[in-house]
Structure formats: C-alpha cells, structure tokens
Amino acid sequence: MDIKDYKAWLKDHQLPLAPVDVSNLIGENALTLVIAVKKALVKQGWSEEDIQTFHKTALSGDYDKVISICVESCDEGSYRNQGE
C-alpha cells in the first residue's frame, strides 16, 4: 500500500490518531519509530488487524516511507496539547 492508499484507508476507517511527536524520533532506526507509534495506536484502541495494516505498510518501503506512514498515523497537535 502506498502513502496515498494509506491516507484513504485511515480516512475510511475513521481511526483515532496516535498522540506521538514523531519529530523527536526521526533519526532512530525504522523499527524504533514503528514500535513507538504502534504502542500509541494500541492505547488509542486500534484493532489488531488495523495495527497489522499500519505495521506492514510502514515497513514495506524505505526509511522515508516509514516516516511518512508514522506521521500520517499520528496527531502531533494532540501530543502538544497534552503538556498544557
């Protein structure tokens, strides 16, 4: 699944985004990024099937794709608001 298809999939499934600031994780290895977002998605109530879709899609390309899929799955605005 490419990034365009993933965005459409997220929209169709109306899943809550993870409150993770991915910018703090850029530069880490791909698996570290995916695991951090995956843990947050579990807390957001994503089903095992939806989490597997995220995981497989994020790791199905290069590092730029990992970052793109992780960013699309996160709501950095809600992360910032948690500290207020």
Domain spans of the chain, in order of start: 3-82
Instruction: Compute the distance between CA of residue 63 and CA of residue 77 in angstroms, rounded to an integer.
Output: 23
Calculate the average pLDDT of the chain: 87
C-alpha pair distances (Å), 19 with each of 1, 2, 60 = 23, 23, 23
pLDDT greater than 50 at residue 62: yes
Least confident of 4-8, 16-20, 26-30: 26-30
Instruction: Compute the distance between CA of residue 28 and CA of residue 47 in angstroms, rounded to an integer.
Output: 26
Instruction: Compute the distance between CA of residue 59 and CA of residue 66 in angstroms, rounded to an integer.
Output: 6
Instruction: Compute the distance between CA of residue 19 and CA of residue 73 in angstroms, rounded to an integer.
Output: 9
pLDDT band per the 50, 70, 90 thresholds, residue 83: very low
**How high is the pLDDT of residue 9?**
93
Q: How many CA atoms lie within 13 A of 10 on its CB side?
A: 20
